[in-house]
Amino acid sequence: MATTLAPPPAAARARVPVPWLWRLQSLLSAYLPLLLMAALAGGTWWLVKNTPSAEDQAEAPPPRHEPDYRMNDFSLERVGANGLLRGRIEGRELRHYPDTDTLEIDEVRLRAIGTDGSLTLATARRGVSNSDGSDMQLYGDVLVQRFLVDASGAPLPTPQLVVRGEFLQALSNSEQLRSHLPVTIDYGGAHLQAQTFLYDHLHALLNYSGRTTGRFDVGPNGRVLSPAAPARK
């Protein structure tokens, strides 16, 4: 089932209020810093590739599916032009495989800070990235959270948006987030469960296929609740 994020026809407004879809679309777009974090992961291979080797080999042996370097308990940071931290990627171990030119990270932890100060966190048991970071895949207990900040700039204790699943793929070139496995999305008073998930930022499209269910908590005014509009007794 595909749902565009433009205003739906009048017959559909009673079922899924238009403002909620617009808010969800804007929040999902905030996950795009994760795509930048994927590029940061690919940058580690660039650093190693351009580091002079101690010995020059006349003829390199054919690559095998064995890591040619490892990094344990590492932390890589990305700083913006203003000198402020924009993102960090951490993990228990990073491995590079020359035959596939991919990076694998155990217990990967991603942290991205938006231009508005909002904080996006992502964790998974394992992460896999291609050499340039344009394709970042998270596997196992994937948890992505977005936090707004208060007036002092500190993150609020409760996440505004949460995505859970066993797989999530971030494609930076096409600006897409996708999963071929079931995911759950929590936003305020809404809870969605979908068998597959695709968010296309360039085309402003949310796409679900298979059986999709949802629960929407409605306040006294008939609108879907959100963290910015809590229920009043």
pLDDT per residue rounded down to tens, the chain (233 residues) = 555 554 544 444 444 444 556 666 666 666 666 665 665 655 554 455 544 454 545 566 666 778 888 889 988 887 777 877 778 889 999 898 888 888 899 999 988 887 778 888 899 999 998 877 788 899 999 998 888 888 888 888 888 888 899 999 988 778 788 999 999 988 777 888 989 988 887 777 778 788 888 887 665 655 555 444 333 33
Superfamily for domain range 2-6+17-48+65-216? Lipopolysaccharide (LPS) transport protein A like domain (2.60.450.10)
Using CB atoms within 10 Å of the CB of residue 90, give its burial: 0 to 12 exposed, 13 to 18 middle, 19+ buried: middle
Contact 95, 103 (CB under 8 A): yes
